Amino acid sequence: MHSFSPLLVVAVALIDPDGRVLLQQRPPGKPMAGLWEFPGGKIEPGETPELALIRELEEELGIRTHASCLAPATFASEALGERHLLLLLYVCRKWEGIPEARHATALKWVRPAQMYALDMPPADLPLIGLLDALI
């Protein structure tokens, strides 16, 4: 029987009071370098999605949030080389600290409609319209 072992990734749309969303640019040397993505990363064994996201936000942006501030929004399902990516997208409007690019090349606050003009990973493209309707 074929065994399905997806790559589980958790990511978040941080939304500011003006309805803009934070994107970060993937650094050189990583797959999909230069593309604009939602902050997040792989869920490590034993982690819940929420704890993985809280950890990634601290590591990547130096901000702190709480599981109760993370609302499940939608997901992406996409072939990724030999693997299959399942990306769980949360939204978050409440955090502590000011995001700084600790891993990314750059950060950018954008409205969902502006995302169509940016290079984003293929899995993210179906998420843009959903975010636009949600915010």
Closer to ligand 8DG at the Cβ: 41 or 69?
Answer: 41
Residue with nearest beta carbon to ligand 8DG: 41
Which run of H or of E encompasses 130?
A: helix 125-134
Which x/- pattern over 104-123 shows residues binding ligand 8DG (rule: CB under 6 A)? -----------------x-x
Total residues binding ligand 8DG (CB under 6 A) = 15
Closer to ligand 8DG at the Cβ: 1 or 28?
Answer: 28
Buried b (16+ CB within 10 A) or exposed e, 29-63: eeeeeebbbbbbbebeeeeebbebbbebbeebbeb
Selected binder of ligand 8DG within 19, 33, 34, 42 (CB under 6 A): 42
The residues with which 88 forms a beta bridge, in sequence order, are 10, 75
